């Protein structure tokens, strides 16, 4: 197959920031053409994975991530309610509902800084087991994780651990002060060593530069193997968070990020994540064209709004895309 990239058979782990920045700054038609070539070569058809999200423990998080409505540091201004960890039964019920609506992956998020051993973690393990028993891919995001905890999650049937790098190593300190980039890398390493797939990506629209965006993709694409799943979020500005007034991301910036993620990590599921609520159908189609092949599906992300499922299915149909059925590896 004649595809418009050099060394097309090679999956590289040595991308430099400069190379990725060059990609991000290509004329858009050229960038889309290259990303399409890579996508077609590695994925063939355009199937979109539908992943549903549920916040199993909301609010009162001790970390100070400036984008996050769930941080306890901003509760006075956000007014975010503090909720305790959900029971197992309603979580599995939600997973069933999501599955019935067409989702094949179920992601559970907890506003924790780290996993602590005890009854609550045991409960999460049961949730993972229950979701996995439904035949869905199970993913959780619970904060920092120790090696033995990663192993217990893997043993319970977890497919993937989500832990985002969020931004570049340099810009990170502008956004979070309560834990380091290295802490994040260590958690990802612990998850990988337990045999879990990695779901890790970041957010654009937090005031970072294009170089920061390229640096984040550089770190991700230098993982060996690449993360199986790369969520790219556009900041959802939430009132009361320090980033509430940052200028919104232009949809074409998301398109460029999808394309660069696709080219640098050809086999990863590139997930068009938070921020779709403010994107037109046309912008989302461009993201799919650029290689995005997964979305968060369901009317809620963790605490903020997401498009209706009917609208998403209609868009997928109109664009002639297919829905990924069953676990996708
Ligand atoms: N507490 C865990 C942690 O941070 O590791 C898991 C939950 S946390 C909400 C998961 C991810 O959601 C964050 O790493 C961030 O990338 C994303 N996120 C949170 N708030 C967001 C927002 N307002 N806009 C876009 N993405 C956001
Ligand atoms: C990811 O990268 N994005 C999701 C999921 N992983 C956990 C979370 C988005 C959260 C958006 C803000 C909210 O709904 O609270
Ligand atoms: Fe806590 Fe996660 Fe929100 Fe950071 S992103 S404040 S760790 S819930």
* pLDDT (tens digit per residue) in 230-251: 999 999 999 999 999 999 999 9
CATH number for the domain harbouring residue 110: 3.20.20.70
Domains identified in the chain, total number: 1
Q: Give 110's contacts (C-beta < 8 A, 6+ positions apart).
A: 55, 56, 57, 85, 124, 140, 141, 142, 143
Question: What is the structure's pLDDT at 161?
Answer: 98
171 lines ligand 1 (CB under 6 A): no
| Listed residue (220, 169, 214) closest to 20, CA to CA | 214
Question: What is the structure's pLDDT at 102?
Answer: 93
In a domain, 6, yes or no: no
Contact 294, 49 (CB under 8 A): yes
Residue 63 CA to ligand 3 centre (angstroms): 6
Query: DSSP string of 56-82?
Result: EE-S-BSS--TT-TTBGGGHHHH-PPP
In a domain, 3, yes or no: no
Residue 219 confidence class, pLDDT cut points 50, 70, 90:
very high
In a domain, 226, yes or no: yes
In a domain, 277, yes or no: yes
pLDDT digits (tens, 9 = 90+) for 74-119: 988 888 888 899 999 999 999 999 999 999 999 999 999 999 999 9
212 lines ligand 1 (CB under 6 A): no
In a domain, 2, yes or no: no
In a domain, 324, yes or no: no
Q: Above 80 in pLDDT, residue 1?
A: no
pLDDT digits (tens, 9 = 90+) for 139-153: 999 999 999 999 999
Q: Give 190's contacts (C-beta < 8 A, 6+ positions apart).
A: 145, 146, 147, 149, 150
In a domain, 174, yes or no: yes
Q: Whose CA is nearest to atom 9 of ligand 2?
A: 274
Catalytic site includes residue 199 = yes
Residue 325 confidence class, pLDDT cut points 50, 70, 90:
confident
In the chain, which ranges are E strands? 47-57, 105-110, 137-141, 160-162, 197-199, 202-204, 229-234, 269-272, 294-296, 322-323
- Tokens at 149, concatenated: 């905890």
In a domain, 5, yes or no: no
Catalytic site includes residue 271 = yes
The structure's pTM equals 0.94
| Domain extent at residue 284 | 11-317
Question: What is the structure's pLDDT at 48?
Answer: 95
Q: Which atom, in ligand 2's list, is nearest to the CA of 70?
A: 15
Q: Which ligand is nearest to the CA of 303?
A: 2
| Burial status of residue 45 (CB atoms within 10 A of its CB: 0-12, 13-18, 19 or more) | exposed
């Amino acid at each position: 197959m004649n595809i418009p990239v050099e060394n097309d058979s090679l999956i590289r782990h040595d991308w430099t920031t400069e190379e990725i920045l060059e990609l991000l700054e290509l004329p858009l038609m050229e960038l889309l053409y290259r990303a399409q070539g890579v996508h077609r070569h590695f994925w063939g058809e355009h199937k979109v994975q539908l992943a549903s999200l549920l916040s199993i423990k909301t609010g009162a998080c001790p970390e100070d991530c400036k984008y996050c409505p769930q941080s306890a540091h901003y509760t006075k201004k956000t007014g975010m309610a503090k909720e305790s960890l959900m029971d197992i039964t309603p979580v599995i019920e939600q997973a069933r509902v999501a599955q019935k609506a067409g989702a094949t992956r179920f992601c559970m998020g907890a506003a924790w800084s780290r996993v602590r051993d005890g009854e609550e973690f045991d409960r999460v393990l049961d949730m993972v087991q229950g979701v996995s028993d439904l035949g869905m891919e199970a993913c959780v995001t619970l904060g920092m994780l120790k090696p033995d905890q990663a192993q217990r999650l893997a043993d319970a049937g977890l497919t993937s651990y989500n832990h985002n790098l969020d931004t570049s190593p340099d810009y990170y300190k502008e956004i979070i002060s309560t834990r380091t980039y290295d802490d994040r890398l260590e958690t990802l390493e612990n998850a990988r060593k337990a045999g879990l797939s990695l779901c890790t990506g970041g957010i654009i629209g937090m005031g970072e530069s294009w170089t920061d965006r390229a640096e984040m993709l550089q770190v991700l694409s230098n993982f060996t193997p690449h993360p199986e799943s790369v969520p790219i979020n556009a900041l959802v500005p939430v009132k009361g968070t320090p980033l509430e007034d940052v200028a919104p991301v232009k949809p074409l910036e998301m398109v460029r990020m999808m394309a660069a993620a696709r080219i640098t990590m050809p086999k990863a599921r590139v997930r068009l994540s938070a921020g779709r609520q403010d994107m037109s159908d046309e912008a989302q189609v461009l993201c799919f064209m650029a290689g995005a092949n997964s979305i968060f599906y369901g009317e809620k992300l963790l605490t903020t709004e997401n498009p209706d499922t009917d609208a998403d299915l209609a868009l997928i149909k109109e664009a002639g895309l297919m829905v990924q059925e069953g676990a996708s590896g």
